[in-house]
């Protein structure tokens, strides 16, 4: 197996097009066109984690947080990150990060938090716009089924929990082949009428190249007529945060203990709230920017991290705002990545780092 097979799979699950503009997810160090010897999964890449990869004969480290996040002006070994990068290069270890792109997908980081908390019917909290497009094309009736299949295989036709979605209308197409053309039907210089099917189907914007390539490869015409429309629809499975419901309402103190146990956190900061908790919003890492969305979604609690002092005031008693810790809310991303890769590659066993990279300790 090649390293780029793992990377290709990860980017099918969490496309780089979904990362935030400030982020630096993707291949960061090394070349992916080499055999995979072993893979180590971690939340953060440190010098100690690279040493661990060397000891365990892994030449690929996949992390959640990018080791190269802010621009590097020099790599001299002055910091832990610089030393980790230098050691990885010297040891021919590839470094890859799946960060906010993994945060933004329905099967990603926040789904893992929702699972840990036992939330039912989880949905993306703040679905994004501008991530969907529509393809319209016209094809002879006899080729419509095969073309639809090709488009679906290229990533078109998925709406929520449904796939192979399209709308089809029968009509009459006209065209005249000019000198130098090689028409599939009709003759040069004569107008031709062809019974055609108009196919409309939706696709993720980042799949446009693949969808158009499939269209051109499987369409019988020499010149393919097609239109691509940007859509303003919300993408129901792409966006930050998730919201779901507990099986039954819980008092605040019971819910806090539940979160503490589920997320294995030593400390929770939270606001005052007097109601019962059943509908819960979550966002791993720094997610307080989603507080208005959590309130709008009717959540009685919002579990996130990195909440500043004055930001706690914004809850205004409308819900229970919890800061459960950045590392604590995202640590199970390691388990998520391992599960996804084992399911896709059942004969390959990725390793989970045994090093806790949380830089924060708690004194009580």
For the segment 220-254, what is each residue's pLDDT rounded down to a tens digit? 999 999 999 999 999 999 999 999 999 999 999 99
Percentage of the residues of the chain whose pLDDT score is greater than 70: 100
> In the prediction, which pLDDT does 181 show?
95
The whole-number average pLDDT for the span 16-42 is 97
Contact status, residue 234 vs residue 128, Cβ threshold 8 Å: yes
- Domain 128-235 fold: Alpha-Beta Plaits (3.30.70)
256 and 270 Cβ atoms separated by less than 8 Å: yes
Residue 40 CB coordination number (10 Å): 27
pLDDT of residue 363: 86
pLDDT tens-digit map of 151-193:
999 999 999 889 999 999 999 999 999 999 999 999 999 999 9
Domain ranges across the chain: 3-101, 109-123+240-329, 128-235
The angle formed by the CA atoms of residues 61, 63 and 67, to the nearest 5 degrees, is: 95
Report the percent of the chain where pLDDT is more than 90: 98
pLDDT at 266: 86
In this predicted structure, the answer to whether residue 37 has a pLDDT above a threshold of 90 is yes
Model confidence at 344, pLDDT cuts 50, 70, 90, reads very high
277-309 core/surface letters (b: 16 or more CB in 10 A; e: else): bbbbbbbbbebbebbebbbebebbbbbbbebee
**What does the mean pLDDT of the chain come to?**
97
Q: Which stretch of DSSP H or E encloses residue 142?
A: helix 141-153
The yes-or-no answer to whether 3-101 and 128-235 have a common fold is no
Q: For residue range 108-160, list pLDDT tens digits in order.
A: 999 999 999 999 999 999 999 999 999 999 999 999 999 999 999 999 999 98
Mean pLDDT for 260-280 is 96
For 256, residues 6+ apart whose C-beta sits below 8 A from its C-beta are 268, 270, 322
The CATH H-level superfamily of 109-123+240-329 is NIF3 (NGG1p interacting factor 3)-like (3.40.1390.30)
pTM (two decimals): 0.92
Q: Which two tokens stand for residue 178?
A: 């000019």
Condensed to tens digits (0 to 9), the pLDDT of residues 40-82 reads 999 999 999 999 999 999 999 999 999 999 988 999 999 999 9
On the question of pLDDT at 272 being above 90, the answer is yes
Q: Which CATH number fits domain 3-101: 3.40.1390.30, 3.20.20.70, 3.40.50.2300, 3.50.40.10?
A: 3.40.1390.30
């Amino acid at each position: 197996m090649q390293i780029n097979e793992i990377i290709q799979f990860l980017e099918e699950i969490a496309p780089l097009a979904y990362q935030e503009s400030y982020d630096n997810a993707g291949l960061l160090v090394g070349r992916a066109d080499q055999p995979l010897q072993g893979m180590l999964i971690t939340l953060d890449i440190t010098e100690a984690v690279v040493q661990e990869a060397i000891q365990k004969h892994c030449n690929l480290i996949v992390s959640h947080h990018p080791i190269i996040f802010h621009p590097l002006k020099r790599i001299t070994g002055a910091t832990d990150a610089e030393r980790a990068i230098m050691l990885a290069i010297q040891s021919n270890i590839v470094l890859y990060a799946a960060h906010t792109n993994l945060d933004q997908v329905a099967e990603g980081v926040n789904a893992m938090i929702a699972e840990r908390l036992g939330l039912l019917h989880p949905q993306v909290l703040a679905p994004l716009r501008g991530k969907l497009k529509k393809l319209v094309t016209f094809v002879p009736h006899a080729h419509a089924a095969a073309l639809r299949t090709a488009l679906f295989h290229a990533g078109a036709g998925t709406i929520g929990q449904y796939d192979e979605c399209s709308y089809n209308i029968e009509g009459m197409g006209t065209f005249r082949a000019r000198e130098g053309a090689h028409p599939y039907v009709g003759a040069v210089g004569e107008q031709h009428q062809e019974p055609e099917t108009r196919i409309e189907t939706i696709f993720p914007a980042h799949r446009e190249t693949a969808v158009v390539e499939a269209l051109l490869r499987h369409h019988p015409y020499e010149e393919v007529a097609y239109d691509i429309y940007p859509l303003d629809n919300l993408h129901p499975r792409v966006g930050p945060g998730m919201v779901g419901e507990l099986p039954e309402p819980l008092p605040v103190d019971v819910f806090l203990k539940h979160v503490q146990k589920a997320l294995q956190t030593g400390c929770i900061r939270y606001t005052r709230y007097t109601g019962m908790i059943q509908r819960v919003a979550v966002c791993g890492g720094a997610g307080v920017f989603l507080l208005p969305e959590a309130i709008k979604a009717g959540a009685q609690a919002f579990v996130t991290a990195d909440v500043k002092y004055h930001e706690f005031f914004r809850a205004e008693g409308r819900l229970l705002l919890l800061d459960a810790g950045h590392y604590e809310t995202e640590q199970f991303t390691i388990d998520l990545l391992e599960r996804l890769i084992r399911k896709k590659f059942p004969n390959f066993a990725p390793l989970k780092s045994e090093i806790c990279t949380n830089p924060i300790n708690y004194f009580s």
